[in-house]
A and B are shown apart, each in its own frame.
Chain A
Amino acid sequence: MTALAICGGRLVDPASGVDAPKDVLLKDGRVAEVAGPGKLKGKNGAEILDATGLIVAPGLIDIHVHLREPGQAYKETIASGTAAAAAGGFTSVAAMPNTNPVNDSPETTRWMQAPERGAQVRVFPIAAATRGSKGETLTDFAALKAAGAVAVTDDGKPILKDSVMRETLAAAARVGLTVIQHAEDTRLTQGASMNLGPVSFKLGLRGMPAEAESSVVERDIRLVSELREQHPHLHVAHLSTAAGLAAVRQARRNGMRVTCEVAPHHFLLTEEHVGLYNAHAKMNPPLRSAVDRDAMIEGILDGVVDAIATDHAPHAQHEKEIEFDLAPNGITGLETALGLCLRWLHGEWKMPLGRVLSLLSAQPAALLGLKGRGTLAVGSFADAVVFDPKIEWSYKATESMSKAKNTPFDGWAMQGKVRWTVSEGRVAYAGELCAASS
């Protein structure tokens, strides 16, 4: 494999505590050397990527994506979804099991990682916690882990039975897997298509109360507390409510291993963005109130939130062009996450760049135990993103590498443009040399 030398850039590697001008040598899929500008010893014969004026950072990691394969290739394939990931600066994505069939077996878990899928970046399958995600019988966690699964979840179909959730947490703890919960008491959200509040009333839509999320978060934390001796790790997916976040904050204070992620749309948008039935603002959990949105920002800035994850959920255009109540939940997110985080978290809300990048790489890697990912320390995987932090550009959904275009961020201003995404030493994405600053 050819060696790559990324030279002249500013290396921001929060996991190593580095923020300085550094050159990085990538060789055989690993980081071979990190040195001061012009000081790489082993770069002879290496292809040079000129990163002058650019930021060099660990490749981004999205621990919550839907790649739709197997079974729904018309929405997205592993190849197209990971191409979008690469375009967005991501080098690792963790794929949810709500495929068809549900990924509840080592066979499907391996199938998703097979070279024939044509993945542009590393795919880490997250397996179903129960067979068929039916919430009844646990899957074989040890076998799934051996096949490459990095966590278990019934995402989209929350585990409501206390006994099953307790068993899941205990069994996952035994094999060292994280349990990811989509926290939603579906008994409180029947027929609902947005957040419950003044906007849902005005639009004549049934609403999902915030308690549907927070009550499950609280229940899960209670179970984690009961199983304390076994050290289970609960990860709350796409947290969206102030009450849910408060519960996670309290659990952490009590020393429990409870982590959470927030999606860009939940810290940027509110229920008002549903406008007049914009199906691109329909997702689950739904866009919440301004108070909830502000709580997400607060939680990110003060460190309770462990990761930014996109919940990339591609759908075909015709599927979203129907009655709001009938349209499927979800929006794409892989290509907009970095631009939005830089624009808002860093640009508007002054979060240090290293912390923003950490939420998108080092912390999610640590959370799922992805060894050698989320850092550019010598010896780690050669996963890197090189971007120009100064370029402001406008996202165009029609130009997406994803098969799907269902995003509420079409036309939004993004800060920072990806120049290269390097996945295990290979350039997985090369952006335009110099996009006009607008």
Chain B
Amino acid sequence: MNPVAATNRRALTTPPAPISPYPYNPGSLLSVLNLTVEGVSHLLWRATELESEDPILRDHSLAKRRIALLFYESSTRTRTSFELACKALGADTTLVSNLSSSIEKGESLKDTGLTLRALGAEAIILRHSYSGAAWLLEEATRLPVINAGDGMHEHPTQALLDLRTILAHLRPGIDKVDEQTLSGITVTIVGDILHSRVARSNMLLLPRLGVRVLLCGPKELLPEQAARSGPGIEIERDFDAALAQSQVVMMLRIQAERLAGLQLDLDEYKAAYQLTGQRLAAHAPRAVVLHPGPIIRGMEITAGVADGVQSAILEQVTNGLAIRMAVMERALLASEGGRA
């Protein structure tokens, strides 16, 4: 009765998935995938240049340009870092937080974005608790939108500053990166991968420079499908085995605010995945230890390791400032180019 055999049917044409219209604005940084490797290389170079530039001269690069920081989640380092980066380039910044604005009265993200644009904002830095919020804001405002963390999805500037930190340790002195720059390097990302935007941005960025990314964590926090997010990503659930192969280990916080009812035995978790001095000495005595913060001492990482000689946690924070200067410069200059 049926004219089409089951085997043939799968070969039949089906409607293609949509082509992404994003980013609408060339200055936007919504995802690390918005950047080519060449673009990453350029940003790293600009970060170094801007960092060493005379602060008085640097102050003119974005003098009096208006940048809004729109924060729907609490933040210490990301917010301060972006704010200082903008100010270091001479821009005027204003902070809008969900707790002291019309957002509390029920204003939508779209309307808040349009309001900021009407007030003269030329770029918006957005931190939001829902995945995809930056895409919504960009579509609504068409301004350069910098994703400073959207839910469990991405945190592109964090991945860039992590890359800068890794390069400083493993490839000191180079001022250009390409697809092979980090060939032979293994970076292990450990812990709550499922809820981590830092993990997603890193696993999408680092393999494009040659890194092999190992994801490590329990099934509840690291589903099998994570390995299918892109090329160069593998899962290794044995922390010690992962450490033994790694030149870099990136620890993640258990995100209590996103567990959504997930039951986790924290003692068991610590036994399997806490980065201790002993574990580090036994399996990766030379590895660079990273953590995007905030760190919970005694949970995913011991105080000794966090403060130890292998830790680059505070360097990451410093690198964030340089990277964000470069990102904000790109945001406003690229969008000018786009308008011309």
Contacts and interface: CB of A to CB of B under 8 A. Distances in A.
Interface of A: 190-191, 197-198, 201-206, 268-270, 272-273, 275-278, 290, 293-294, 297-298, 301-303, 318, 321-326, 344, 348-352, 412
Contacts of B135: 276-277
Interface string B108-137: 111000000000000000001011110110
Given A202-B229, A321-B108, A293 B14 contact: yes
B260 A205 contact: no
A350 B133 CA distance: 41
Given A272-B17, A278-B18, A293-B14, A349 B228 contact: no
A278 B139 CA distance: 11
Contacts of B17: 270, 272-273, 275
B87 interface: no
Interface of B: 1-4, 6, 9-10, 12-15, 17-18, 20, 22, 108-110, 128, 130-133, 135-136, 140, 150-154, 194, 197, 200, 223, 225-226, 228-229, 260-261
A50 B248 CA distance: 76
A198 B9 contact: no
Main SS of chain B's interface residues? loop
Contact of A323 (B22, B133, B152, B226): B133
A384 B239 CA distance: 67
Given A322-B109, A322-B136, A190 B260 contact: yes
Given A191-B260, A325-B151, A350-B4, A205 B131 contact: yes
A321 B260 contact: no
Given A198-B228, A204-B131, A323-B130, A275 B2 contact: no
A318 B108 CA distance: 9
Contacts of B10: 294
A318 B107 CA distance: 12
A301 B9 contact: yes
Contacts of B22: 276
A324 B260 contact: no
B15 A204 contact: no
A275 B20 contact: yes
A273 B194 CA distance: 22
B150 A204 contact: yes
A269 B15 CA distance: 7
Residue among A198, A303, A318, A348 with most chain B CB within 10 A: A198
Contacts of B226: 201
A183 B10 CA distance: 26
Residue of A268, A270, A322, A352 with highest tally of chain B CB at under 10 A: A322
B110 A321 contact: yes
Contacts of B14: 268, 290, 293-294, 297
A14 B194 CA distance: 51
Contacts of A318: 108
Nearest to B150: A204
A325 B130 contact: yes
A325 B135 CA distance: 13
Contacts of B4: 301, 349-350
